[in-house]
């Protein structure tokens, strides 16, 4: 993960790493980019930038380490440093939501939702996707990394440059927010919730 150049790869080695370790992740990369930007062209630009950076800094990639995590970290940083700055559309963030949840390091682990398992299982793909997309970007990101892409807490900590404890608590908060969204879908769709019993 470090930017320090560890070794110099030959042109042949570079091509091999690029083809065998970087390119096979393009599907996950594009979907991550799309879920950050909600725009096909922006997602394409972000993925393209990421791959160009990955190639330029390929000597700082250590073979045998997780290429997907390395690429995701570059993409995440590109999104924060480049995309958010030049984007005409400000990132859609519910600041109050973020502040409320960030201002304390303590996580409330009490059960905050009366959402039922059956209601969750019956949800449509669009409902799940919309609920996820409606979360503030930092919360959306941890759920994407953990649940959609299967990264470990340790990998997520490296991708996001935050301690593992923060990964854990942010994930918990993200899922609670998601549950709130799903619960409101459930009640508008007429699924039963515990409250109605």
Q: At what angle do helices 164-188 and 125-133 cross, to 10 degrees?
A: 130
Q: What is the CA radius of gyration of the chain?
A: 19
Binding another protein by CB under 8 A: which of 17, 71, 74, 132? 132
CB of 146 to another protein, least distance (A): 6
Binding another protein by CB under 8 A: which of 128, 134, 138, 187? 128
CB 80 within 8 A of CB 31: no
Binding another protein by CB under 8 A: which of 36, 179, 185, 191? 179
137 is a site residue for another protein (CB under 8 A): no
Binding another protein by CB under 8 A: which of 60, 134, 152, 187? 152
Name the segment binding another protein (CB under 8 A); options: 2-10, 59-67, 85-93, 118-126. 118-126
Nearer to another protein, 84 or 116 (CB): 116
Whole-number Å distance between alpha carbons of 75 and 29: 8
Tokens 């600041």 belong to which residue?
Answer: 95
Where does residue 151 fall: left (phi above 0), alpha (psi -120 to 50 degrees), or beta otherwise? beta
143 is a site residue for another protein (CB under 8 A): yes
CB of 134 to another protein, least distance (A): 13
Whole-number Å distance between alpha carbons of 38 and 159: 21
Sequential DSSP letters for 149-195 = T---HHHHHHHHTS-HHHHHHHHHHHHHHHHHHHHHHHHHTT---GG
How many C-beta atoms surround the C-beta of residue 172 within 10 A? 15
Binding another protein by CB under 8 A: which of 64, 90, 125, 190? 125
CB 137 within 8 A of CB 191: no
Name the segment binding another protein (CB under 8 A); options: 62-70, 81-89, 92-100, 112-120. 112-120
172 is a site residue for another protein (CB under 8 A): yes
111 is a site residue for another protein (CB under 8 A): yes
| Residue ranges in contact with another protein by CB under 8 A | 18, 23, 26-27, 30-31, 34, 40, 43-44, 47-48, 51-52, 55, 107-111, 113, 115-117, 120-121, 123-126, 128-129, 132, 143, 146-148, 150, 152-153, 168, 171-172, 175, 178-179, 182
């Amino acid at each position: 993960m470090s930017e320090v150049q560890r070794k110099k790869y030959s042109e042949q080695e570079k091509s091999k790493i690029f083809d065998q370790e970087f390119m096979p992740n393009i599907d996950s990369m594009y979907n991550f980019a799309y879920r950050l930007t909600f725009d096909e062209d922006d997602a394409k630009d972000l993925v393209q930038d990421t791959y160009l950076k990955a190639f330029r800094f390929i000597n700082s990639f250590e073979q045998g380490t997780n290429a997907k995590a390395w690429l995701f970290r570059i993409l995440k940083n590109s999104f924060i440093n480049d995309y958010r700055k030049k984007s005409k559309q400000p990132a859609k963030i519910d600041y109050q939501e973020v502040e409320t949840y960030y201002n304390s390091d303590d996580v409330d682990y009490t059960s905050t939702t009366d959402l039922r398992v059956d209601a969750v299982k019956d949800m449509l793909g669009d409902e799940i996707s919309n609920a996820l997309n409606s979360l503030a970007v930092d919360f959306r990101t941890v759920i994407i990394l953990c649940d959609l892409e299967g990264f470990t807490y340790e990998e997520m900590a490296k991708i996001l440059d935050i301690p593992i404890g923060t990964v854990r608590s942010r994930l918990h908060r993200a899922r609670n927010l998601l549950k709130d969204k799903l619960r409101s879908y459930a009640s508008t769709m007429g699924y039963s919730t515990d409250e109605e019993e």
